Amino acid sequence: MRIMPGAMLGVIGGGQLGRMFVMAAQQMGYPVTVLDPSVDSPAGRIAEHFICADYADHSALKALSMQCAAITTEFENIPAESLRLLALSSVVSPDADSVSIAQNRVSEKQFLGTNGFAVAPYAIIERHADLTAQDIVDLLPGILKVSQFGYDGKGQKSVANKTELIAAYTELNHSVCVLEKFMPLVSEISVVVARSRVGELKTFPVSENQHVNGILDVSIVPARVSAALAEQAQSMASQVAEKLNYQGVLCVEFFVLNNDKLLINEIAPRPHNSGHYTINACVTSQFEQQVRALCGMTLGETTQHSAAVMINLLGDLWQNGKPDWNLILQHPSTKLHLYGKTEARPGRKMGHYTVLSTDTETALREAIAIKKQLEQNLIRNP
């Protein structure tokens, strides 16, 4: 069954990913209802209908399902039980089973390992006594991550030795955690892939990603990797989607090691920050693709028509007032996207800009030059 324009769509989550989904859906003729607990949610402010409620509120979920022909999510930390409840009366994509795997690092690692995907060496820590086990100590130095609700560097700590590991576990409130061994990375890349109800697959070009303090800083597309490695990453991302029996848009993040060895770092059952370049640089954006997959339509073409570099704009740039947007907008091939958030906090994603060019290196030089100008302007105007 195809859901045609004019039908109401729903999205659980009202942040920037929800906002960009709403924009894509509205452009295609679909009105949208947003459910989010924040009265000031960026997506809720532009949607046709807004339900301000907790993600587990049964009466709110019932109202959402009654209004909408199909419902999606903007991030993975939605209770899987809420998705199961909605699926009783509405089309829901992605489904609860896929989300429940991706929202828990333990389930995610076990799923990847069971299906033959390479990951960094890891161990599960469920109690304080696990910290002194030899197989745990052998993974140091590493990174300790809570099993659930971590994102953008939150809920994780780098640990060099047993003393730091014990301190980090205590700081993370003795939660169930995953300890991953540090790997000698050459780079980090990601692939956004879409899979339809009938199993049609489309992958977007590979993005090369650079992080600062656990938060994505720069995405370079196409990634500066060999054609063979890019093809391998796209193939692996497609295999993950198939093994999950996934419907919708999914991002697979990879570590690139020496000799072009690929390890899967994480999977995200939704559009992804590293895929924002698709809005301006591809025939179909990841958000239009999300609408198409949700509504049972043929997936859009993913060809990239311009080299692109995306830079995140964090709340740090607002500490002395609004940034000087002319530093971005004076460049005719640069696209500014602001997310409509009313409070700028350090580390909070407030927007991004994407520089387009005929080649990656030119786009990267211009993107970094703009970034330096924004940072210098902040220093000059304390």
Alpha-carbon gap, residue 330 to 155, rounded angstroms: 38
pLDDT at 144: 93
**pLDDT for the residue 193:** 98
Give me the CATH topology for the region 9-92: Rossmann fold (3.40.50)
- What pLDDT does residue 148 have? 80
CB 253 within 8 Å of CB 107: no
Beta strand 349-357 with 156-159 is: unpaired
DSSP secondary structure letter of residue 270: S
Same CATH fold assignment for domains 121-181 and 187-380 = no
Architecture of the 187-380 domain: 2-Layer Sandwich (3.30)
Pick the CATH number of 121-181 from 3.30.1490.20, 3.40.50.460, 2.30.22.10, 3.30.565.10: 3.30.1490.20
**What pLDDT shows up at residue 300?**
98
* Predicted pLDDT at 156: 84
Give me the residue spans of the domains in the chain: 9-92, 121-181, 187-380
Q: What single letter denotes the amino acid at residue 234?
A: Q
Best CA proximity match to 309, nearest among 234, 225, 207 = 207
pLDDT at 214: 87
Q: How open is the CA angle 254-74-240, to the nearest 5 degrees?
A: 35
Low-confidence ranges of the chain (pLDDT < 70): 149-154, 379-382
CB atoms within 10 A of CB 194: 27
Locate all alpha helices (DSSP H) within the chain, ordered by sequence. Answer: 16-27, 58-67, 80-87, 96-102, 105-114, 134-137, 162-171, 227-243, 278-281, 286-294, 326-329, 360-380
Burial (CB count <10 Å: 0-12, 13-18, 19+), residue 18: buried
Give this prediction's pTM.
Answer: 0.95
Structure tokens at 93: 């994509």
